[in-house]
Amino acid sequence: MKMIDRKKFLLSTLGLAGLPFIAKSTILKKLTFINKPENFPVVIATWDNQRAVETATKELIAGKTALDAVEAGARVPESDPDDTSVGYGGMPDRDGNVTLDASIMDHLGNAGSVTFLQHIKHPVSVARLVMEKTPHVMLSGEGALRFALEHGFKKENLLTDKAKERWKKWKEEQHYNPVNSNNHDTIGILAIDKQGNVAGACSTSGLAFKMNGRVGDSPIIGAGMYVDNEVGGACATGVGEYVMKTLGSFLIVELMRYGLSPLDACKHAIQRIVEKIPEARNNQVGYLALNKKGEFGAFSIRPVFPYTVYQHGENKKFESESELK
């Protein structure tokens, strides 16, 4: 039996056998060679998270790491009672509980995440402590809460009056039936610091009125967010079930490793979802990607998917292209 060529096998597995590629070693050398310090620092985040990007940028300008920046940026919507998809003020599950998921990853490949965390306003910071203080990657539920309390986090009621009223109205109209709603604005955030190191974070309260115990893509390393310091990073927002089934963020980073631009990599990952999961056309997923050169891109299933970028001294809002028009 003939031995399978490793590269051909990998490309076939990724569904990329028909695309032109340069050898991995060539691409990695090229990425390092053309790295442009003038493009750094750079921060990119999902949706209209301008305050989050501004906060992360201040960390980088002050000389902090990309990891510090993405944590600080994600904490902004986590604290905002008017942001109904992240942290305090997030929509509850169908039983009225606010449950949070988050993940974080540094340039060394270290990662931490929490799932089904209740009563803690800043899950992204708990995720960082999981990464730095434990031998694990993920803690969940009561264990994650106990860990957070042991490390000085305050137990709080995260269900705002506004979110509670919307939940009550939903129960009357939907008769307790959970749906994959498009009404969610998970924050995914990526950054490159002055040293050229990449980090990423993701935080969410998940789908509004989900079944109790549901966990989405945001805390899943390789699904909601992924970073490889040789290549760059990617993050996701939207219906997490579709992202988990295709491991979108990992796929995007691997596509960039083999030469695709951030935009083309995001586009391919969205097309993978639409082809594999036809019903996804009725919902939304958006991807962001940032490579080691400081180039960024975004793509979504449907319009409208805005995102925010800081680079070259400016904090700007963009709108991604989409598969469906």
Enzyme catalytic residues: 186
The one-letter amino acid at 174: Q
Q: Per-residue b/e over 114-143, b at no fewer than 16 CB within 10 Å?
A: bbbbbbbbbbbbbbbbbbeeeeebbbbeee
The DSSP secondary-structure symbol of 306 reads E
Q: Which residues contact 41 (CB under 8 A, 6 or more apart)?
A: 57, 60, 61, 66, 69, 191, 192, 193, 194, 310
Q: Are 318 and 298 in contact (CB under 8 A)?
A: yes
Greatest extent of the chain over all pairs of C-alpha atoms, in Å: 66
Residue whose token pair is 């695709």: 260
- Euclidean distance between the first and final Cα of the chain, in Å? 48
Please tell me the distance from the alpha carbon of residue 234 to that of residue 288, in angstroms, as a whole number: 5
